[in-house]
Amino acid sequence: METVVKKRNDKTNGRLTARQIKRRVGEAWALLENPEFNEKEVFLSAELLYYDADKVKVHEESRKYFGTRKNGGNFAVFFFGTPDPNAIFLL
């Protein structure tokens, strides 16, 4: 599987809807800044900082952003792919 890595272009710094992010990211993990949710906690939009098919690489990239924002900011790591039906998730 080929890994596709994209970083945010600061010239296009802007919010994207969940659908736009899904189209750009595909089946991969994404690092998002200031995610917005509705009252039912459904993801609506965010700023896409980084994405990769490898979750570990996304977490490594996230370390660059923590503590570098003046106001702190909110970040999320989100999987836009199809979840494995045999996986067990513990929350």
Q: Is 86 a member of any domain?
A: no
Q: Round the average pLDDT of the chain to a whole number and report it.
A: 84
Q: Is 34 a member of any domain?
A: yes
What's the pLDDT at 79? 92
Q: Is 24 a member of any domain?
A: yes
Phi, psi for 87 (deg, rounded to 5): -80, 150
Residue in the block written with tokens 């736009």: 20
**Is a pLDDT exceeding 90 seen at residue 51?**
yes
CA-derived radius of gyration, the chain:
13
Asked if 45 contacts 16 with a C-beta cutoff of 8 angstroms, the reply is yes
Q: How confident is the model at residue 11 (pLDDT cuts 50, 70, 90)?
A: very low
Q: Is 84 a member of any domain?
A: no
Q: Is 89 a member of any domain?
A: no
Q: CA 10, CA 84: separation in Å to the nearest integer?
A: 34
The total number of structural domains in the chain stands at 1
Q: Residue 80, Cα to own-chain centre: how many angstroms?
A: 8
What's the pLDDT at 70? 60
What's the pLDDT at 72? 65
Q: Is 38 a member of any domain?
A: yes
Spell out the residues 6+ positions from residue 28 whose beta carbon is closer than 8 angstroms to its own.
4, 51, 52, 53, 79, 80, 81
Host domain of residue 13? 6-79
Q: Is 91 a member of any domain?
A: no
